[in-house]
Structure 1
């Protein structure tokens, strides 16, 4: 469930359910999808979340694809780790893990107005034996860091014994490292220092044998005055770093709150830690990250890694991708972008292809609105235009309607090709290249769908012969490059509206893709739908008697239109899924200009020839409503001020 479906459809429904039920439904649904044949590919296709190589890093020597981790509170039983690992995470936290299960069936409460989740127990888990099985048999390839803790209320010696036993049991599993969670405000400073000292003595032999990194887990509301003495007791050869927790303790029932309210404390802890520890120490933080700007704030304060928990619930599964994009932009914003390649290297050929489609569409529209048929059509039929009119008074109007809709679709394809080449392919944007590649791969073969009916269209064949080399030249030597333009950082009103706009265009792209396949299939099989025959007032048998080649000619038009529509739709769908980025104004104008010719052609010709059957036009009305709604909802997001994407510290920057 990408953000455009989560924010608009699923989140409002899930938030009406008890939180435990909603979490179970969501995780099990994602698990089922990921285990279907092609399920992970579907997740990747919908989200396009593959992390850039620019984000690769090492956590205490362990390779991680990104600096973003999944908190153990999100999926404590590892139900959907296979699916979630496709979201752009670099590592996964397992835990907390205690020796014995800690069970609590009290409700988990969503405080939506504060974007906070209240848990009845901080350490609720299935216990060592069950959690060990999750760690030993991962269904993903990401590093796993295990948070281990003593049973609540354990005395100092007992806590040390339990932590050591957990380490001994889990050290031979595929766990990449461990978070040691035993510091507590319920103990005095001296007691916490004794814990650290005793653990260091007990754990050092174990550490020397296994060499798996250990991180000291620091509760979010841990006394700030105790932080410096505690860090002074840590021994760098044992401790690879620190993890700032996510839980705020608010009542005597030991309920904890995880959410946006923890951000100020987390920032303070991270900043304080960074001044106390060496630059080689890793600092992770797991609180108050609900939008990309929150993650950047943590990284600027000194964190090396961030973990997501409540932010996924309130912002959606696209949050890791958005943070990854923000991190890349943050790292590159002071780096001059590379010079764009020359016109003739690759992108210019796609511009020429687009111009060719535009010119071809204009010519096709002019012919379809005037003579309708061309000399080679008349030669194929052995009949003149006047003789065709004698067969049926609506026949030429019907053929004109097919050809004008095809012309409008050609214009739309040409505009999208030109715009995506000039503003996307030119800058080696992966999504733009994929959209153009996919459109061409399905579009060029569709030129020849009509051959099954024995009709060879020389103009279509000539167009394919001219345009195909341009397509091949445009697709060569296209290495992916990151975007150097500002990205979305806030869960603003514009962003939330854009989720609805994106939903409209995704549904539009899917609908038009289905429509293109259906029209092409009808074109090469039955040729007509009942409304077509009712409009003309004839049967296929009567048309076949009038001219045995007439249906083949009509089939060529229908199949060609269906193929062109499908080619256009898949390009629009990929743009809607992967390409929308805040304040990229050219995208809004591309959607407006690219969709207008197809809708104008399709709707105007039906009214012009009075082919206005409601059921026949209902799909077009539905598509047009999605198109207009999508443009309106995306307008503030795509056409807003560039300044709205920056953090307060960047507001004075001038972007050229």
Structure 2
């Protein structure tokens, strides 16, 4: 029903406006008695064989929702009814910010992709905490954190620490988002020496809490093998809990969209089917070269159960969807989980 009826209607409107409309629609529908149970019945699979234990956490299934969809943690309780095993909120910054000027979200329908340059638009860490206090405990919640756009380079780490310390009681794991192409001073965030400093500072803060939380690093899909070797060394040296591969891409190679259309859209991060193979290649390289030394969450271009299995076979322990969720609808989660069970 989604692809034949709802998607054509949704895709006839501005992507960002329909995103907010969909949030309101799901929120409203879930308040109607019985609707939550209907969603669960349609989309959720409960099976012990789907459970995954990673970095001290038990995931009821390996299919998650990537960061960027529920930035402000306003819909995770309702989205849990669609069958996700975990949901990552954010990217959250210390202060609320409007992000980049609109229009900043674009569909590439022929490519089944999306280009965005949102710029970490969110309401800030305190607003996220108020929403997370409403957590009904349905699934694992990850906190994806970043810096404010206006923050000076010498204060980047301070921003990450502010988010980390404030969110610590409310999320199950953390993701350091250092690979988004839509924020300023991207070069420093990808510098190995700075990453060692940042990870060390966050791990130091983590040790001040009685219950320490797993910390993961989200990397770009555009890294070459030499850079991926650096990531492997970084994870091993810092004892980081895992890696999310991957974020959006700045590469436009092989797109069906015309050069004119791409020029009209401008800069931004590409997600969806066009980065599927690139993301899978990164996962496989990290897994093979490190001899599966650390957990990997695979994300990028998962639009089918086969795409998800490809990521898992390449070395991903868990998978996340975002653009595929928009193009395929909530039935995608169930299809992936059914395929995983069938493959066991």
TM-score above 0.5 = yes
CA contact (8 A) 1:267 1:298 kept: yes
Deviations 1:477-531 (A, max 9, x none): xxxxxxxxxxxxxxxxxxxxxxxxxxxxxxxxxxxxxxxxxxxxxxxxxxxxxxx
- 1:222-301 equivalent positions in 2, closer than 5 A: 222-235=223-236, 238-249=239-250, 254-277=267-290, 279=292, 281-301=294-314
Are 1:30 and 2:26 counterparts?
yes
Alignment partners' CA distance in 2, 1:82 and 1:125: 18
In the other structure, the counterpart of 1:208 is: 207
Q: Look up the match of 1:44.
A: 40
SS in 2 for 1:215: strand
Residue 132 of structure 1 corresponds to: 129
Q: Which residue of 1 aligns with 2:144?
A: 147
What is the alpha-carbon distance in structure 2 between the residues aligned to residue 236 and residue 52 of structure 1?
Answer: 36
Match for residue 167 of structure 1 among 157, 164, 167: 164
Counterpart for residue 217 of structure 1: 218
In 1: Cα distance, 2:35 partner to 2:113 partner = 31
**Within 2, Cα distance between the matches of 1:136 and 1:221?**
37
Q: How many residues align?
A: 325
- State the alpha-carbon separation in 2 of the partners of residues 155 and 235 from structure 1: 29
Which one of the candidate residues 3, 8, 16 is aligned to 1:7?
A: 3
What is the RMSD of the two structures over their aligned residues, measured on CA atoms? Answer: 2.5
- Compared CA separation, residues 322 and 257, structure 1 to 2 (3 A): same
**Matching of residues 469-548 of structure 1 within 5 Å:** none
Question: Partner of 1:229: helix, strand, or coil?
Answer: helix
Higher helix share: 1
Q: Summarize deviations over 1:322-369 as a string: whole Å, max 9, x none.
A: 0000111111xxxxxxxxxxxxxxxxxxxxxxxxxxxxxxxxxxxxxx
How far residue 49 of structure 1 moved from its aligned partner, in angstroms, is: 2.0
Contact 1:67 1:306 in 2 (8 A): yes
Instruction: State the distance in 2 between where 1:297 and 1:127 align.
Output: 36
Shift of 1:86: 1.6
2:43/2:333 contact within 8 Å kept: no
User: How much does 1:66 deviate?
Assistant: 0.4
Distance of 1:133 and 1:326 partners within structure 2:
37
SS at match of 2:81: coil
| 1:312 equivalenced with 2:297 (yes/no) | no
Larger radius of gyration: 1
For residues 40-64 of structure 1, the C-alpha deviation after alignment (integer angstroms, 9 at most, x for no partner) is 112123x152332210111211111
Contact 1:285 1:298 in 2 (8 A): yes
Output the CA distance in 1 between the equivalents of 2:234 and 2:248.
Answer: 24
Local SS of the residue matching 2:296: strand
Change (3 A) 1:188 1:86: closer
**Residues 286, 153 of structure 1: CA spacing in aligned structure 2 closer, same or farther, 3 A cutoff?**
farther
Is the contact made by 1:28 and 1:79 (CA closer than 8 Å) also made in structure 2?
Answer: no
Asked whether the 8 Å contact 2:90–2:122 carries over to 1, the reply is yes
SS in 1 for 2:235: coil
TM-score, normalising length from structure 1?
A: 0.47
Contact residue 114 and residue 260 of structure 1 kept, 8 A: yes
Is 2:69–2:89's contact at 8 Å kept on the other side of the alignment? no
Distance apart, 1:72 and its partner CA: 2.2
Deviates more, 1:205-214 or 1:318-327: 205-214
Unaligned runs of 5+ in 2: 252-262
- CA drift at 1:293: 0.6
Task: Indicate how the Cα distance of structure 1 residues 299 and 190 shifts in structure 2: closer, same or farther if over 3 A, else same.
Answer: closer
CA distance in 2, matches of 1:233, 1:246: 18
**8 Å CA contact 1:92, 1:145 repeated in 2:** yes
Moved more, 148-157 or 53-62: 148-157
State the 1:123 CA deviation. Answer: 2.0
Deviation for aligned residue 1:230: 2.9
Corresponding residue for residue 63 of structure 2: 68
Alpha-carbon distance between aligned partners in 2 of 1:307 and 1:96, rounded to the nearest angstrom: 15
Task: Map 1:328-477 onto structure 2 (within 5 A).
Answer: 328-331=341-344
Residue number in structure 2 paired with 1:327: 340
State the Cα distance separating 1:77 from its structure 2 match: 3.2
Q: Secondary structure at the match of 1:109?
A: strand
User: Partner of 1:312: helix, strand, or coil?
Assistant: helix
- Runs of 4 or more off by more than 6 Å in structure 1? none
Q: Distance in 1 between matches of 2:94 and 2:230?
A: 29
Tell me what 2:81 maps to.
86
Contact 1:189–1:226 (8 Å) recurs in 2: no
Q: Are the aligned partners of 1:100 and 1:126 in contact in 2 as well (CA < 8 Å)?
A: yes
Identify the structure with bigger relative contact order (alpha carbons < 8 Å, sequence gap 6+): 2
Per the TM alignment, residue 11 of structure 1 is displaced from its structure 2 partner at its CA by: 0.9
CA 1:118–1:124: 2 relative to 1, 3 Å: same
In 2, are the aligned partners of 1:246 and 1:288 still within 8 Å (CA)? Answer: no
Q: Distance in 1 between matches of 2:158 and 2:291?
A: 29
In the alignment, structure 1 residue 56 sits paired with structure 2 residue 51: yes
Contact 1:156 1:195 in 2 (8 A): no
| SS of corresponding position for 2:300 | coil
* Aligned partners of 2:66 and 2:299 also within 8 Å: yes
Map of 2:257 onto structure 1: none
TM-score after normalising by structure 2: 0.86
How far apart are residue 279 of structure 1 and its match?
3.3
- Distance across 2 between alignment mates of 1:74 and 1:177: 17
2-structure distance, mates of 1:100, 1:166: 9
- What's 1:564 paired with? none
What are structure 1's unaligned runs of at least 5 residues?
332-656
